[in-house]
C-alpha cells in the first residue's frame, strides 16, 4: 500500500496570507490534527509514503523521515515521486502522479493532495484521490476515505 502525499494544504494548512511557523528543524510545522490523522492511516495500513509535494526536492529522504518523526508521524518506508531536483524540471502534479502510476503498475495506492490538476487525470486514478480542503488538511472525513481506498483495494 502506498500513500502519494502532498504537504502544502495537506499537512501545512496555514492560509498563504498568514506566516507559517517554522520548527527547530527548519521546516514548516504541520497541522496537528492532520498529522495525527496521517499517523493513524499509516498505523492502520502499514502503507509506505511517496512524497508528491514540490517540497520533496528540499531534503534527502533521511531528513524527511526526521521531519515527519519530530511531528509525530512515523513512516516505515519513504520515497519521492520522481528524481526531479528543481521546480523548473517538474510538470504539473497530475502528470507526475500519472507517470508514477504508469511506472509502478498495479500498486494499491491513495493520493492525498489538494492539487486540482489531478482533476485532469483518468477516472480510475481520480477514484483513488482524497481531495483535501487546503486550510483544513486531513480531517476525519479525508482520513476515512483514505482508509476505505487502501483497505478495500487490497
The tens digit of pLDDT for each residue in 74-84 reads 999 999 999 88
Radius of gyration of the chain from Cα atoms? 14
Domain spans, the chain? 2-152
In the CATH scheme, what is the code of domain 2-152? 3.40.50
Please give the helix or strand (H or E) that residue 67 lies within, else none: helix 61-70
Q: In 3-state terms, what secondary structure has residue 115?
A: coil
Q: The pTM is what?
A: 0.94
pLDDT in tens, 15-40: 878 888 999 999 999 999 999 999 99
Please give the helix or strand (H or E) that residue 113 lies within, else none: strand 109-113
Amino acid at each position: 500500500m502506498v500513500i502519494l502525499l502532498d504537504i502544502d494544504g495537506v499537512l501545512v494548512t496555514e492560509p498563504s496570507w498568514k506566516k507559517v511557523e517554522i520548527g527547530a528543524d527548519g521546516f514548516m510545522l504541520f497541522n496537528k490534527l492532520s498529522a495525527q490523522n496521517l499517523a493513524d492511516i499509516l498505523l492502520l495500513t502499514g502503507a509506505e509514503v511517496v512524497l508528491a509535494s514540490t517540497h520533496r526536492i528540499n531534503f534527502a529522504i533521511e531528513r524527511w523521515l526526521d521531519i515527519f518523526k519530530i511531528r509525530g508521524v512515523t513512516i516505515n518506508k519513504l520515497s519521492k515521486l520522481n528524481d526531479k531536483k528543481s521546480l523548473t524540471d517538474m510538470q504539473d502534479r497530475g502528470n507526475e502522479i500519472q507517470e508514477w502510476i504508469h511506472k509502478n503498475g498495479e500498486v494499491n495506492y491513495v493520493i492525498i493532495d489538494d492539487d486540482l490538476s489531478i482533476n485532469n487525470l483518468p477516472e480510475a486514478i481520480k477514484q483513488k484521490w482524497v481531495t483535501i480542503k487546503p486550510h483544513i488538511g486531513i480531517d476525519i472525513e479525508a482520513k476515512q476515505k483514505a482508509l476505505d481506498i487502501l483497505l478495500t483495494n487490497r
